[in-house]
Amino acid sequence: MHHERGPERATPLSHGLFRMVEVHPPHKPGIRRPHNLDLDLVVFDMDGTLVEGSSWEMVHAHFGVSNHKNWEAYCRNEIDDLEFIRSDIALWVGNGRKLHVSDIERVFHNTHPFPGVTDLVKRLHEHGVSTMIMSGGLDILARRVCELTGIQRYVANGIHLTEEGLLTGDGYCLVKINDKGLATAEALKQLGVNPARVAAVGNTKFDIPMFKQCGFAAAFMPLDEEVVAAANATVRDPDMRHLWPHLQAYRAPGARAEQ
């Protein structure tokens, strides 16, 4: 699995850095695909939406540590997103432990997407709809999920590595936990997509800012009622294929897709 050392090629923005990574090439030009959906892009949250659990917590569990105090400090606004990431990484490299990126990769070897994700993604692509992950989780897992499902792009947070692939103890934040709307808006801008023709899929209240940047929002396997209230549709079954009818039924304001 290929990894980059950090956001060296990220675009500087007023709120930090931004980088959108393309894992799978876009549709080849000249190939006509049916496009009877009023959507050009579907943006997925990752942790809890595409896979069960939190990517950060998976690593914590692997090393037998807890970030509960870090999370409480973040919720009290005592640390920002980047400091929260650094404090989590510090739990892994504590007591002088030297970790290679492969040690983190191995944590995710048995992590697989929810049932139906790959089928849904394939169907979206067959209808000319692009796909992307927008996650405050680890980019190492985001890339793996893209490779497993065919999702084309991701924006996620990550860890800095040395040239040899060792963790430096530092990380980078591209997607703020409390405001995924910032990164979502920037991604749509860079892709040149009309927000009204974008669907967002998430599972917690932290996905609501992402929802607000998109024309349609779906709560998949929701963990709180706030995200349900903010969504246009809710699927409580762990098979993501159940999202298809909701995406198919959506009608973007102002324009209809060709039938």
> Has residue 1 got a pLDDT over 50?
no
- The mean pLDDT of 103-128, rounded to a whole number, is 96
Count of helix runs (H) and strand runs (E) in the chain: 10, 10
Instruction: Give the list of residues 6+ apart from residue 151 with CB closer than 8 angstroms, or none.
Output: 23, 24, 44, 50, 121, 131, 132, 133, 145
What are 43-98's pLDDT values in tens digits?
Answer: 999 999 999 999 999 999 999 999 999 999 999 999 999 999 999 999 999 878 89
What are 180-230's pLDDT values in tens digits?
Answer: 999 999 999 999 999 999 999 999 999 999 999 999 999 999 999 999 999
For residue 124, give the H/E element and its range. Answer: helix 117-126
Q: For residue 51, how many other CB atoms are within 10 A of its CB?
A: 24
Q: Which domains does the chain have, with CATH numbers?
A: 11-53+113-162+170-249 (3.40.50.1000)
Residue-level pLDDT at 6: 52
Closest to 186 (Cα-Cα) out of 43, 74, 55: 43
